[in-house]
Homo-oligomer: A and B are copies of this chain.
Amino acid sequence: MEMLGPRVWSSVRQGLNRGLSRNVGGWASGEGRKVDIAGIYPAVTTPFTATAEVDYGKLEENLHKLGNIPFRGFLVQGSNGEFPFLASNERLEVVSCARQAMPKDKLLLAGSGCESTQATVEMTVSMAQVGADAALVVTPSYYRGRMSSAALIHHYTKVADHSPIPVVLYSVPANTGLDLPVDAVVTLSQHPNIVGIKDSGGDVTRIGLMVHKTRRQDFQVLAGSAGFLLASYAVGAVGGVCALANVLGAQVCQLERLCLTGQWEDAQKLQLRLIEPNTAVTRRFGIPGLKKTMEWFGYYGGPCRAPLQELSPAEEEALRLAFTNNGWL
């Protein structure tokens, strides 16, 4: 088992301990330990009815089905959750609904990011009150030209200072046009209420660098997509938050298991078969592609809110090919 470093070991141990009682805000207790977020999370979609209302019943159904897969927890209102399209009350109701529908022993990450610091603080506090275990906070980005490291450090520090639950940083340049700078990540990793980062940029050199430069902190790095999950584990990441886990959740968890137990040959084989499907439900066809695929795999997909459009027939066929060509359909 010599291929497992300290971080990896700790998450294997964690794996044996999936029944841990949720210890919300435990980081602040006397023991001085942050919550361990290692593991796999699907980036849950928000189901809508034909008239574009949030369909909480379908959300419950999806979560029940996903509940049988050995995830560490669930992320609601990541980029795949269409959070920019939800009103504040809907954002809280989705968190509340997820908390009720999902197994008690799993972590509920909730995307609480807004453009202003104050709104993000308020949303984070409210999401904690309705059951979120940790808050995933996307970089504000509309004024990206002024989002220096100093501005972002200030933003995240304020949010973490006021949040009753641990904060996970979230860098997703495809949506925000902004990478959270590594130097800012390193500074923020020292905050007692910031426990990690979801990095969706896919630059594994950067992921390795963040692991390396935060190695003396209680700080964990999660891959933001299944396309580079194996590579991220190889450089010290401890899990992933993945759109693909909505449809191939068992396989993503199997990939985690192969990495954690050092079965790199099989891990590589599996990883390679997941790249095309992953790209198809993320960068290439986005949430409409993901929701369409969910229907093929027995989940409720349904429409997106406008302005997101349905796939064209040609796009749908290309989407399907990405799965059939790799033996998943």
| Minimum CB–CB distance for A329 against chain B, Å | 17
Neighbour of A263 across the interface among B2, B8, B84, CB < 8 A: B2
A276 at the interface (CB under 8 A from B): yes
Q: How large is the interface on A (under 10, 10 to 19, 20 to 34, 35 or more residues)?
A: 35 or more
A283 at the interface (CB under 8 A from B): yes
Neighbour of A212 across the interface among B154, B228, B275, B307, CB < 8 A: B275
Q: Which of A199-207, A244-252, A291-299 contacts B (4 or more CB under 8 A)?
A: A199-207
- B272 A208 Cβ-Cβ under 8 A: yes
User: Which B residues touch A202, using CB under 8 A?
Assistant: 203-205
In the docked arrangement, what's the CA distance between A227 and B155, Å? Answer: 30
Residue of B nearest to A311 (CB): B146
Q: 1/0 per position for A73-117, CB-CB distance to B under 8 A? A: 000000100001101000000000000000000000000000111
Residue of B nearest to A282 (CB): B145
In the docked arrangement, what's the CA distance between A205 and B305, Å? Answer: 29
| Minimum CB–CB distance for A238 against chain B, Å | 12
Q: 1/0 per position for A128-148, CB-CB distance to B under 8 A? A: 000000000000101111111
User: Which B residues touch A117, using CB under 8 A?
Assistant: 305-307
- A306 B155 Cβ-Cβ under 8 A: yes
- A306 B158 Cβ-Cβ under 8 A: yes
- B268 A306 Cβ-Cβ under 8 A: no
Q: Which of A23-31, A64-72, A190-198, A229-237 contacts B (4 or more CB under 8 A)?
A: A229-237
| Minimum CB–CB distance for A190 against chain B, Å | 17
In the docked arrangement, what's the CA distance between A117 and B150, Å? Answer: 34
The verdict on A146 contacting B308 (CB below 8 Å), with A84-B115, A116-B85, A205-B275 known, is yes
Residue numbers of A with Cβ under 8 A of B are 2-5, 8, 52, 79, 84-85, 87, 115-119, 140, 142-148, 150-152, 154-155, 158, 174-177, 202-205, 208-209, 211-212, 215, 225, 227-228, 230-232, 234-236, 262-269, 271-273, 275-276, 278-279, 283, 286-288, 305-309
Beyond A151-B309, A154-B307, A230-B234, 4 additional contacts (C-beta under 8 Å) are A203-B203, A205-B227, A212-B273, A212-B275
